[in-house]
């Protein structure tokens, strides 16, 4: 649905986005995850044809960004980082302006639909200047949706919202996916990316990793199972070590941390073996790593590899002495 090839943006000699190649599938929530300054907003602005790339290309729904922008505008809804709304106009008037701009055929019906869906109907005639941050964000979502776009570009849609409103917006995004829309979600929030996204591209000017949240975890950490027992005995430990598919076992008090290659298949056999030697199992869970850890590792990895060729002086220093 969205394809970019070597998409690059340079501002006054400073690279903001470098060689971004990605393919966003129809119907998925695709996360663009990166710290502040990673190039997320720049990417969205290029896709929305608000700024032109320095090089590379982008297509949305087969339309070429920068050439077929009218068609793209019909297909795409955007929520920018700080949505500009007409402060003195009412919520309804704000939506009506956009609906007309987009050539929506039944403006009244579409505006009512989204004001109700986002629970702004009771405040429809109040000036937006009186709205809370959360209400404004909901109105920005309504505005992005009023022309029923198939694709949504959401730039940090929950930033600055309180936990309750964050949940409302996240649930709403999940619903949009259920309706079959394709969503590009920019976020610096790892938890958000993990909860919502089918796939995540970790961006730090350059793309540094692309995978499902689960696969990103597995790739960096392997998989480990934690079995909590009533008591760990030598006999139990020996039995577990004797299983040929067990890659590693660590004992931590009453817990066994066991590395496995394929826990879905191996857990039942492991449990049977444990029960046979009299182990009383209290819990069995997979060790969870936060995306935060994954993210930091990827960034470190990226910094290590990218600093190698660009620091020849440091590498040569010992031989100079
Ligand atoms: N209009 C601009 N002019 C010059 N530099 C910019 C401009 N917009 C963004 N940048 C720079 O580009 C880089 C990427 O910014 P941005 O895309 O906003 O990142 P993110 O949205 O991931 O926080 C940053 O270093 C930022 O300072
Ligand atoms: Mg940004």
Residue 34: CB within 6 Å of ligand 1? yes
Do 207 and 222 lie in one domain? The reply is: no
Residue ranges making up the domain that contains 224? 218-286
Domain count, the chain: 3
Do 242 and 302 lie in one domain? The reply is: no
Do 61 and 145 lie in one domain? The reply is: yes
Q: How far is the CA of 268 from the centre of ligand 1 (A)?
A: 50
Residue 129: CB within 6 Å of ligand 1? no
Q: How far is the CA of 316 from the centre of ligand 1 (A)?
A: 34
> Which 3 state secondary structure label does DSSP give 53?
coil
Minimum-distance ligand to the CA of 38?
Answer: 1
Q: How far is the CA of 127 from the centre of ligand 1 (A)?
A: 32
CATH number of the domain within which 68 lies: 3.40.50.300
Q: How far is the CA of 146 from the centre of ligand 1 (A)?
A: 29
What does pTM read for this prediction? 0.79
Q: Quick check: 314 pLDDT over 60?
A: no
Domain boundary among 194, 211, 228: 211
Q: What percent of the chain has pLDDT over 90?
A: 69
Residue 216: CB within 6 Å of ligand 1? no
Across the range 45-67, mean pLDDT stands at 94
Domain boundary among 161, 193, 211: 211
Do 76 and 190 lie in one domain? The reply is: yes
Q: 226 has which bridge partners?
A: 257, 285
Do 302 and 201 lie in one domain? The reply is: no
Q: Quick check: 78 pLDDT over 90?
A: yes
Q: How far is the CA of 126 from the centre of ligand 1 (A)?
A: 34
Residue 44: CB within 6 Å of ligand 1? no
- pLDDT confidence band for 214 (50 / 70 / 90): confident
Q: How much is the pLDDT for 229?
A: 97
Domain boundary among 160, 193, 211: 211
Minimum-distance ligand to the CA of 156?
Answer: 2
Residue 37: CB within 6 Å of ligand 1? yes
Task: Express each pLDDT in 131-147 by its tens digit.
Answer: 998 999 999 999 999 99
Do 169 and 238 lie in one domain? The reply is: no
Do 179 and 268 lie in one domain? The reply is: no
Q: How much is the pLDDT for 233?
A: 95
Do 121 and 248 lie in one domain? The reply is: no
* Residue predicted with more confidence, 219 or 81: 81
CATH number of the domain within which 249 lies: 3.30.70.100
> Which 3 state secondary structure label does DSSP give 33?
strand
Q: Closest ligand 1 atom to the C-alpha of 44?
A: 17
Max alpha carbon distance in the chain (Å)? 78
Sequence-separated (6 or more) residues with CB below 8 Å from residue 37: none
Do 279 and 300 lie in one domain? The reply is: no
Q: Closest ligand 1 atom to the C-alpha of 43?
A: 17
309: left (phi > 0), else alpha (psi -120 to 50), else beta? alpha
Task: Express each pLDDT in 89-109 by its tens digit.
Answer: 999 999 999 999 988 999 999
Q: Which long-range contacts (CB under 8 A, 24 or more apart) does 101-105 make?
A: 102/73, 102/74, 102/146, 102/147, 103/74, 103/147, 104/146, 104/147
Residue 36: CB within 6 Å of ligand 1? yes
Q: Which long-range contacts (CB under 8 A, 24 or more apart) does 33-37 make?
A: 33/187, 33/188, 33/190, 33/193, 33/200, 33/201, 33/202, 33/203, 33/291, 33/295, 34/188, 34/202, 34/203, 34/204, 35/188, 35/204, 35/299, 36/188
Residue 158: CB within 6 Å of ligand 1? no
Q: How much is the pLDDT for 77?
A: 95
Q: How far is the CA of 229 from the centre of ligand 1 (A)?
A: 52
Q: Closest ligand 1 atom to the C-alpha of 9?
A: 12
> Which 3 state secondary structure label does DSSP give 170?
helix
Across the range 15-29, mean pLDDT stands at 97
Q: How far is the CA of 37 from the centre of ligand 1 (A)?
A: 5
Q: 127 has which bridge partners?
A: 90
> Which of 76, 11, 47, 40 lies closest to 159 in space, CA to CA?
40
Do 94 and 28 lie in one domain? The reply is: yes
């Amino acid at each position: 649905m969205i394809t970019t090839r070597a998409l690059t943006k340079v501002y006054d000699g400073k690279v903001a986005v470098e060689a971004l190649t990605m393919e966003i599938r129809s119907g998925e929530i695709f996360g663009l995850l990166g710290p502040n300054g990673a190039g997320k907003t720049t990417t969205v602005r290029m896709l929305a044809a608000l700024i032109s790339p320095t090089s590379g290309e982008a297509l949305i729904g087969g339309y070429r960004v920068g050439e077929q922008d009218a068609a793209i505008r019909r297909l795409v809804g955007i929520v920018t980082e700080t949505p500009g709304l007409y402060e003195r106009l009412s919520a309804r008037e704000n939506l009506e302006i956009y609906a007309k701009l987009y050539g929506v055929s039944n403006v009244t019906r579409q505006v009512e639909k989204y004001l109700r869906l986002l629970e702004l109907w009771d405040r429809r005639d109040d000036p937006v200047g009186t709205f809370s941050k959360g209400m404004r964000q909901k109105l920005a979502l309504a505005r992005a949706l009023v022309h029923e776009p198939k694709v949504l570009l959401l730039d940090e849609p929950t930033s600055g919202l309180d936990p309750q409103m964050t949940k409302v917006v996240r649930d709403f995004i999940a619903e949009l996916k259920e309706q079959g829309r394709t969503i590009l979600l920019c976020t610096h929030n790892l938890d958000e990316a993990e909860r919502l996204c089918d796939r995540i591209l970790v961006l730090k000017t350059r793309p540094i990793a692309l995978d499902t949240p689960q696969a990103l975890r597995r790739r960096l950490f392997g998989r480990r199972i934690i079995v909590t027992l009533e008591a760990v005995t030598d006999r139990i430990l020996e039995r577990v070590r004797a299983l040929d598919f067990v890659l590693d076992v660590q004992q931590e008090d009453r817990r066994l941390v066991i590395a496995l290659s394929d826990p879905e298949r191996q857990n039942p056999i492991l449990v049977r073996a444990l029960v046979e030697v009299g182990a009383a199992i209290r819990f069995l869970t997979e060790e969870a790593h936060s995306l935060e850890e994954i993210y930091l590792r990827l960034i470190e990895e990226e910094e290590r590899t990218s600093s190698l060729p660009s620091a020849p002086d440091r590498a040569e220093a010992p031989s100079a002495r």
